[in-house]
Amino acid sequence: MLTLSNLKPKIKKLPRVRRGRGLGSGRGAYSGRGIKGQKARTGGNIRPGFEGGRMPLIRQMPKRKGFHSPHPRSQIVSLGLVAKIFADGATVSPKTLTEKGLIQSNRQSVKIVDKTAITRKFIFEDIHFTAGAKEQILKAGGIIKQGKPANNV
């Protein structure tokens, strides 16, 4: 029976090597540091990325011009296009937009733009809007449900 008292590690751990404890130990004298040099000294070591004085690889790479945001931008969908493709009372979400081929990925946030007047009612889930688009949706009697927190808008 397996209990907490008889648990054992899968692989037996080797004992910790005691360095600098006499010549007979096999790890005495220089303690695996070799003779002299920067790395033999106490606290002496080279910083990460140091390549022995030559021009480091990171500095050989060209810089990119301008500002490049690390955050992906929202995928833009026109309200008029949604009105053409979806039926009255349909649920519009990133998943349904992907199925209809209006967006490429439902992992990225979606933003509905355009002030086109619509007559159909839609239920929008987890989608962001411009002020004009939101106004037109609510005027037509649509419902807006926000599940996820707003990001990448």
Question: Tell me, what CATH number does 90's domain have?
Answer: 3.100.10.10
Q: Is residue 113 one of the residues assigned to a domain?
A: yes
pLDDT of residue 9: 85
Q: Is residue 4 one of the residues assigned to a domain?
A: no
Rounded CA-CA distance 35/45 in Å is 14
Amino acid at 39: K
Answer whether 0.75 is exceeded by the pTM: no
Q: Which residue has the tokens 């301008």?
A: 66
Q: Is residue 3 one of the residues assigned to a domain?
A: no
Closest CA relative to residue 78, chosen from 38, 17, 130: 130
Higher pLDDT, residue 16 or 147: 16
Average pLDDT over residues 71-97: 91
pLDDT band at 70 (very low <50, low <70, confident <90, very high): confident
Q: What range defines the domain where residue 93 resides?
A: 75-145
Average pLDDT over residues 7-34: 90
Q: Is residue 57 one of the residues assigned to a domain?
A: no
Average pLDDT, the chain: 89
Q: Is residue 28 one of the residues assigned to a domain?
A: no
pLDDT of residue 35: 92
Q: Is residue 49 one of the residues assigned to a domain?
A: no
Q: What is the sign of the dihedral through the CA atoms of 142, 146, 147 and 150?
A: positive
Cα distances from 148 to residues 32, 75, 107, 126, 145, in angstroms, run 55, 16, 12, 6, 9
Rounded CA-CA distance 106/44 in Å is 51
Q: Is residue 133 one of the residues assigned to a domain?
A: yes
Q: Is residue 45 one of the residues assigned to a domain?
A: no
pLDDT of residue 151: 52
SS3 125: strand
Average pLDDT over residues 82-107: 91
Looking at the structure of the chain, the number of domains it has is 1
Residue 13 pLDDT > 90: no
